[in-house]
Structures are given as C-alpha cells and as structure tokens.
Amino acid sequence: MTATQPHEHPKAEPVSNAEKEPDNWTTGDERMTGAQASYLKTLCEEAGCPERYDTELTKADASKMIDELQETTGRGQ
C-alpha cells in the first residue's frame, strides 16, 4: 500500500492508510495503555478466558488480542 499525502482537511478527508496494522506501529513494542489493559481485562472475562489477560502485553499485541476477543464476544460488530 502506498501512503498518500494528508489532505487540507484531514478530519473530513483522512488519508487512505490512517489505520495501520499493529505490527507496523512505531510504538507497538511499548507496554499497552491503561485503556487497552482495562478493556482487554473486560473482554477476557466476558469471553470466559480471564487467564489470557497478561499485564506485560505490548500495545500491538494487546490490539490484536482485543480484535480477536471482540469477535469472540460479539463486541466488534
């Protein structure tokens, strides 16, 4: 995918690659945010797998796990 230049009105006309894969995030290897941790804990509990919650996840890994668990719980719809 090629990156396009941001438009004059980026809120109304976002660039085509505004949503990146977590593996390509420049901060993806940092520890997950507090918001990710809280939501991930909730999703793990709702999915019936609280043991999957790991406080040491990176931002990228937490994002991927959130996507997966949203599918499982139906929250991603």
Indicate the domain borders of the chain: 28-73
What is the value of pTM for the model shown? 0.72
Angstrom distances, CA of residue 77 to CA of 10, 25, 55: 26, 24, 26
Round to whole Å and give the CA distance between 76 and 40.
13
Return the pLDDT at 21: 86
> Is the separation of the CB atoms in 52 and 42 below 8 Å?
no
Torsion sign over Cα 56, 60, 63, 65: negative
Return the pLDDT at 38: 97
pLDDT at position 42 over 50: yes
Tell me the per-residue pLDDT of 1-21, one tens digit each, with 9 for 90 and over.
444 555 676 666 666 556 788
